[in-house]
Amino acid sequence: MRMLIFGGIAALALAAGVAGSQETAAKPDMHAMMAGQHQMMMSMQASDKKIDDLIAQLNAAKGNDRIDKLVAVVNELVAERKQTMTMMSMHGGMMDHMMQKREK
């Protein structure tokens, strides 16, 4: 009976150790993910400011200059959308990678 209790306690201790080591391994991934999210938010804020500036220039422009400013706004929006799509595809790849690591 003592061996059974000792074996159960040893199994629980081992499981707790494995769970603890998995948490430790996950923390750097979490920090990297949070840093990446912060960087993405900063990039989005910069993009928003750039669009706001271009819109202000468009609104202030007169005559044919307005067309040039409108083209600049459209080009910036297209570039931003392409960047967003690239980020989304990279994010999907990271999520797949993280899910595969969890399954192991």
Digit-coded pLDDT (tens) for 40-95: 889 889 999 999 999 999 999 999 999 999 999 999 999 999 988 888 887 766 66
Which candidate, 77, 78, 61, places its Cα nearest to that of 69? 61
For residue 31, give every residue at least 6 positions away whose Cβ sits within 8 Å of its Cβ, in sequence order, or none.
none
The pTM (predicted TM-score) of the whole model is 0.57
Separation between Cα atoms, residue 49 and residue 55, nearest integer Å: 10
